[in-house]
A and B are shown apart, each in its own frame.
Chain A
Amino acid sequence: MMIRRLNDIDRIFGTMDFFKNQMNRFFDDFESGRGSVSQGGIWPLTNFYDDGDHIFVYSELPGVNEDEINIKLHNNLLTIKGERREIIPEGYAILRQERNVAPFSRSFSLPVEIDPEKTSASLKNGILTVKLVKAQAAKPKKIVVQAA
């Protein structure tokens, strides 16, 4: 009788440990801010920077080649589109898969007029940089205060 009880207690603690681990993993994902991303959320994550004359768009696109990215600018709507091809190596079994595999597409409406002719993009270390040059009218102007 006693032995059976001890086994039960062991089992209960085992289950509690399991839940504890699951919760820890959940919170780790949550804290790192990437949990939702690895489950097919927003991708690629994108930052916008402004230095007055340009807008810089930075997208995290690790493992994506230049020819797999399609960037379009139309009516101040910037679209970054593509697909990550390399992913599952042949002859391997998958033990864990967190990296995004789906084709991606994101569109951003830009707050200012852009000169489409001068737009350029580069890819380095898995970060795509799109350099948008603001149209003349949208550039900041310095207003000089004159003495009356």
Chain B
Amino acid sequence: MSTEHEMSKPAQDAPEVLKPGKTNTPDVDIFVNDDEILLVADLPGTGKEDLSINLENNTLTIEAAFSTGFSGTCQRQEFDAVDYRRVFTLPKGIDVEKTTAEFRNGVLSLHLPKSSAVKPCEIKVKNA
């Protein structure tokens, strides 16, 4: 479902959000029910204002700038203070207009509602 490394687009297409260079792939959970697809991504070190979520032609791009600063000199490093980027290809039938996102404690929850055309519905049989 995901393509981490996409061809980089020309600069005029995409606003500059991330610093050029290495990016991290955030860990992601994807859940689904009858009404929506719920995507949950771990983006520690970023704030709400550092996020950029882009939906275009069934391609969902999540980018986030790492904005937490560290003081002092590094003694031991297990994670890099680099920006996040991940690209997903969405299935057809997502209601783009009604997509909502929440961000709390470094976790992004993205609600992608299914359009009514792909929602399951029960067909009642009437008595003749």
Contact = CB atoms under 8 A, between A and B. Distances in A.
Interface of A: 28-29, 32-34, 37-38, 42, 45-52, 54-56, 58, 60-65, 87-89, 91-100, 111, 123-127
B78 interface: yes
B88 to A, nearest CB: 10
Interface string B32-48: 11000110101111110
A38 B78 CA distance: 14
Interface in B45-88: 45-47, 67-68, 70-80
A125 B48 CA distance: 9
B18 interface: no
B107 A62 contact: yes
Interface of B: 1, 4-5, 24-25, 27-33, 37-38, 40, 42-47, 67-68, 70-80, 104-107
Given A50-B75, A126-B42, A126-B43, A98 B28 contact: yes
A47 B80 CA distance: 9
Closest 4 CB pairs of A and B: A126-B106, A51-B72, A126-B44, A62-B106
A55 to B, nearest CB: 8
B102 to A, nearest CB: 12
Contacts of B30: 94-97
A98 B71 CA distance: 30
The CB with the most chain B CB atoms within 10 A, among A54, A58, A89, is that of A58
Contacts of B24: 32-34
A88 B31 contact: yes
Nearest to A87: B29
A129 to B, nearest CB: 9
A123 B71 CA distance: 15
Given A34-B25, A47-B78, A50-B75, A127 B31 contact: no
B79 A32 contact: no
A63 B45 CA distance: 12
